[in-house]
Chain A
Amino acid sequence: MSLASAVAPPNLQAGNTDLGEFARAGTAGQAILVLAVPDAYCATCIDSIEHSLRDVPGVVTARVNLSRRHVRVEYVANLDPVALVGAVTRAGYRTYPVDQDHVDGDPAFRDLLRATAVAGFAAGNIMLFSVSIWAGADEPTRNLFHWISALIALPAILYAGQPFFRSAFSALRAGRTNMDVPISIGVTLTTALSLFETITSGEHAYFDASTMLLFFLLVGRSLDHMMRVKARSSVENLARLSPRGAHAILADGSLAFVRLAEIEPGMTLLLRAGDRVPVDCRVLSGEGPVDMAVVTGESMPLAAGPNVDLPAGAMNLSVALTVTALRKSDDSFLSRMQTLMEAAENTRTAYRRIADRAARLYAPVIHVTAAATFIGWVMLGAGWHAALLNAVAVLIITCPCALALAVPIVHVIASGLLFENGIVMRDGSALERLAAVKRVAFDKTGTLTMGNVSFVAQELGDPGILDLAAGIAARSGHPLAVALAQASSHPIPFEGDVEEHPGMGIAATNAQGTWRLGSAAFCGAGMVAASDDNSRIWLAAAGDVIGCFKFADAVRTDARETVADLERLGLPVEILSGDQLGPVLAVAAATGIEKYSAALGPEGKQRILEAGSRDGQPYLMVGDGINDAPALRSAHVSVAPSSATDIGRAAADFILTNQRLNGVPLLVTVARRADVLVRQNLAISVAYNALVLPLAITGHVTPLVAALAMSSSSILVVLNAMRLRLGAKRNRPLSNQDRKVLS
C-alpha cells in the first residue's frame, strides 16, 4: 500500500476533482452519488459507513453494496457532495467517486439468469407430461399432453434460446461457425419436428429434450459468465489518478485553475499539500516529501527540493511546492503507462480458451454426422420423415450439453476453493493460462517485502528512550515518524509544543526541555557514515544525541518458504525490480532467489515477460505497483497482493486477499489439478457422445433415451469436477500451510 494512504488518504478533500460530475439526478429533486469504498469488508463496515452518511443532513438513503465495494447515496440536490466524502472518511474508510455508467448491475448476466429460469420452468413442467407419456398414456391423453407441452415449450424456447440464436446468427454472418450454431440448429429442428408430430398425432415429440438442452446449456453459460472478468478496464482506473487540472501561477502572481489538457511546458504551477502531480515537472521552490509509491513502488517518500524532477501521478504530501511543467499531459508518465497497458491488453485478448478450441473441432463433426445420417436413411429408402427423425436424434444426442458444462463447472469449484484460501480469481481463463506457466517473476517492493517502512532496531541509547521517541513521533505525520510511533507498545504521550521542519524533523518543547527528532544533521549527530542503505531517525535532548532508530522495508515472513515451494513445483523464481541493485541483492539473499534484475523500468519488465512468452517459457508475474501494471498485463498470468495499488489489482488476474505469499504455490497446484479435470471432463463428454451416437444413427433413440443420456452425462461431468474439492482436502502438499492461512 502506498504510504500516502496511511498519511493522508488520497481522496478528495484537497478539492482537486469536481465531484458534481459524478453525481446523477434522481427523482423528486434528489441526486445520487456512488462512492467506492475499497476497504469495506464486514458488517461493522456497512454499519459505520451507512450511519456516518445518514447523519449528514440532507442524505435520504445510503446503502453499501459489499459485493461491489461501493455505497450509493441519495441526497437532496443542493447538498455539497464533499460532505458525503467527508462522512465516509470520518468513518475511517478510503473513498473516491465512481462513474455510474459502470455501476448499474450486469444486464447480460441478468438476462442469462432470467433465460435459465424460464428454460428450467419449461423443462420441469414438460418433463411432468413426458413421464406420463413414457408410462404409456393412451392416444387421446398423449395428444393432449403433446399440445400442452408445445404451448409451454414454444414461448420458452423463443425466449430462452435467444442468447444462442443471436450468437449463432452473428457467427454465420461473419462466415464462421461456433458452438452456438449446432445448438441453434438442433433446438430449432427438434422443436419444428416435434410440432409436426404433435399436429399429425405422432408418437414421439422431443419438447422435453429441447427445453432440457437449453436449460443445461444456459446453466453452463451463466456459470461461465460469472467467471469472466467484468468489463473493468484497468486503463480507466489509471486515468482516475490524473487530476483534472492544476493551479497555475500567472505572471502577476495570481492563481488560475487550468485544465489538464491546457497545461503547456514552461507553465508555473502550484502544488498544494495533497495534490497529485498533474504532468511531469521540475520543482522551482519549496522543499518537502513527495510520495512516489504509486509511480516507482519506492516506499520512501522522495525529499523534493529545487531542480528535482517529479513524474505525473506522484503525490505532494505536506508542503506547497512551486513547479514548472516539463511536458504536456499527453507525454507524461501516466499517459505513457496507459499506452503500454493498452498495447498489452490487445495482445492478451489473443488467448483462445480450451472450450472454444474444443468447440471449433467439435461443431463440424456434429453437422457432418447429422447430415450423413439423413442422407444415409433417405438412400436406404426410409422416407424423409424417418430420416429426419433420426438426423434430429443425432443432433440432440451430440448437442454439447456436457461439453458446455465441462469447463465452467471446474472453474467455479476451483474459484470457490481459492476464495476459501484467500485468493480471488478475476478471470476464468486465468486458471487455464496458469497451468501453462514455466517461470515466476516477483516484484520486490510491496510484493516480496511489506512495502512499508517499519522499525527494525534501536542503534543508540537507553532502551527506554524508544517510548519517549514514539510519543514525540506520534505528533508527526511523516512515514518514518508513523512507523516509529507504532514501534513502541507503551509510548509516553508527549505534552508540549511541536514544530515540524519539513525535510528535516520535528522540534518539541515541554517541561523537561527541548527535543529534536529527525535527520542526523537536524539533531546535530554530525556526519555519520551509514553502514547500509537503511533509513535512520535520531533523537536529541537539549542538543545532545541520545538515541538512533533504524528502519527498513521488511521482507514478508513467508517469502522464503513460498520461493522454495514454487521451485519444488518446478517453477524457477526470479526478481524483476525497479529498485537499485543493493536492496535487490539483500532481498534476493533473504528469500533464496538466485536470479534477479534490478533498475528495470516498466518497459524493461514488459520486455523480459514478453520474451518469456515468445520462447515458450511463459511467466507468472507477482507485483503490486502502478509501475508493475503493464508487466502484470503482459505476463501470461498475474497475481497481486491485496495491498497493491488499485491499478495493480485491476491489472492482475488473481488477488491475494490475506497478507501472505504462500497463496501463490497453492494457486499453481489448484490450477494444475483443474487443468487435468477440465481435460478429463472434455474427454468424458466426447466419449459419452461417441457411445450413444451409434444408437442415434441407427434410429434407436426415443425421447426417453435422449433425456437419460443428456442428463446423466451432465451429472457425470459435474461429479467429476467435484473431485477437485475432495482431492484438495486429502492430498494437497500445502495443506498445513493453508490451515495456518485460514486460522
Chain B
Amino acid sequence: MSGLLILIPAAVGLGALALATFLWAVRSGQYDDLDGAGQRILLDDDMP
C-alpha cells in the first residue's frame, strides 16, 4: 500500500502536467497556423 501512495500521485501528476502543457499550447496560439509553422523552418532566423 505504501508504494501506491507515491505511485498514484506521481502517475496522476504526470498526466496533469501533460494536460496543462497542451492547454497552454492551445491558449498561446501554437495551433493557429500549422501551415506557417511548417514553412517557417525554412527561413533563416535573423530576425529579432
Within 8 A of A (CB), among B8-48: 8, 11-12, 15-16, 18-19, 22-23, 26, 29, 31-36, 39-43, 47
Closest to A129 in B: B8
The reply to whether A66 and B18 form a contact with Cβ atoms under 8 Å apart is no
B13 to chain A, nearest CB (A): 10
B23 to chain A, nearest CB (A): 6
Q: How many residues does chain B have at the interface if contact means C-beta atoms less than 8 Å apart?
A: 25
Q: Does A124 contact B (CB under 8 A)?
A: yes
Q: Does A700 contact B (CB under 8 A)?
A: no
Which one, B8, B11, B12, B40, contacts A46 given CB within 8 A? B40
B residues within 8 A CB of A65?
A: 32-33, 36
The reply to whether B43 and A114 form a contact with Cβ atoms under 8 Å apart is no
Which one, B1, B23, B33, B47, contacts A114 given CB within 8 A? B23
The reply to whether B19 and A67 form a contact with Cβ atoms under 8 Å apart is no
The reply to whether A121 and B39 form a contact with Cβ atoms under 8 Å apart is no
The reply to whether A43 and B8 form a contact with Cβ atoms under 8 Å apart is no
B residues within 8 A CB of A144?
A: 4
A622→B8 CA distance, assembly (Å): 60
The reply to whether B8 and A148 form a contact with Cβ atoms under 8 Å apart is yes
Closest to A111 in B: B26
A114→B1 CA distance, assembly (Å): 34
The reply to whether A66 and B33 form a contact with Cβ atoms under 8 Å apart is yes
The reply to whether A117 and B23 form a contact with Cβ atoms under 8 Å apart is yes
Within 8 A of B (CB), among A43-67: 43, 46-47, 50, 54, 64-67
B40 to chain A, nearest CB (A): 7
Q: Mark A105-122, 1 if CB is under 8 A from B, else 0.
A: 100001001100110010
The reply to whether B26 and A47 form a contact with Cβ atoms under 8 Å apart is no
Which one, B1, B19, B41, B47, contacts A121 given CB within 8 A? B19
The reply to whether B33 and A68 form a contact with Cβ atoms under 8 Å apart is yes
Could you pull out 21 A-B pairs where Cβ atoms are within 8 angstroms? A43-B40, A43-B41, A43-B42, A46-B40, A50-B47, A65-B32, A65-B33, A66-B36, A67-B33, A67-B34, A67-B35, A68-B33, A105-B29, A105-B32, A114-B23, A118-B19, A121-B16, A121-B18, A124-B15, A125-B12, A148-B12
Q: Does A152 contact B (CB under 8 A)?
A: yes
The reply to whether B39 and A43 form a contact with Cβ atoms under 8 Å apart is yes
Given contacts A117-B22, A121-B16, A121-B19, contact A42 B36 (CB under 8 A): no
A565→B19 CA distance, assembly (Å): 50
- B interface secondary structure, majority: helix
B residues within 8 A CB of A110?
A: 26
Q: Does A128 contact B (CB under 8 A)?
A: yes
A68→B47 CA distance, assembly (Å): 22
The reply to whether A152 and B12 form a contact with Cβ atoms under 8 Å apart is yes
The reply to whether A114 and B16 form a contact with Cβ atoms under 8 Å apart is no
A residues within 8 A CB of B31?
A: 113
A residues within 8 A CB of B36?
A: 46, 64-67
Given contacts A67-B33, A121-B15, A125-B15, contact A113 B26 (CB under 8 A): yes
Which bracket fits the contact residues of A?
A: 20 to 34
B residues within 8 A CB of A125?
A: 11-12, 15
A690 to chain B, nearest CB (A): 35
Which one, A66, A114, A117, contacts B35 given CB within 8 A? A66
Q: Mark A121-142, 1 if CB is under 8 A from B, else 0.
A: 1001100100000000000010
A64→B40 CA distance, assembly (Å): 10
Closest to B9 in A: A148
A658→B48 CA distance, assembly (Å): 36
The reply to whether B26 and A114 form a contact with Cβ atoms under 8 Å apart is yes
A residues within 8 A CB of B12?
A: 125, 148, 152
B residues within 8 A CB of A128?
A: 11
Among A42, A50, A125, A152, the one with the most B-chain Cβ atoms within 10 Å of its Cβ is A125
Which A-B residue pairs are the 8 nearest by beta carbons? Answer: A66-B36, A43-B42, A43-B39, A66-B35, A121-B19, A65-B33, A67-B35, A67-B33
A152→B11 CA distance, assembly (Å): 12
B residues within 8 A CB of A105?
A: 29, 32
B residues within 8 A CB of A113?
A: 26, 31
Closest to A140 in B: B1
B46 to chain A, nearest CB (A): 10
Closest to A106 in B: B32
A289→B22 CA distance, assembly (Å): 56
Within 8 A of B (CB), among A475-489: none
A66→B35 CA distance, assembly (Å): 6
The reply to whether B43 and A46 form a contact with Cβ atoms under 8 Å apart is yes
Given contacts A121-B19, A148-B8, contact A67 B39 (CB under 8 A): no
Which one, A42, A118, A124, A152, contacts B39 given CB within 8 A? A42
Within 8 A of B (CB), among A481-525: none
B residues within 8 A CB of A64?
A: 36
Closest to A105 in B: B32
Closest to B37 in A: A66
A residues within 8 A CB of B11?
A: 125, 128
A255 to chain B, nearest CB (A): 44
The reply to whether B22 and A47 form a contact with Cβ atoms under 8 Å apart is no
A300→B1 CA distance, assembly (Å): 84
A487→B15 CA distance, assembly (Å): 64
Closest to A156 in B: B19
A47→B40 CA distance, assembly (Å): 9
A589→B41 CA distance, assembly (Å): 49
The reply to whether A46 and B39 form a contact with Cβ atoms under 8 Å apart is yes
Closest to B41 in A: A43
Within 8 A of B (CB), among A633-659: none
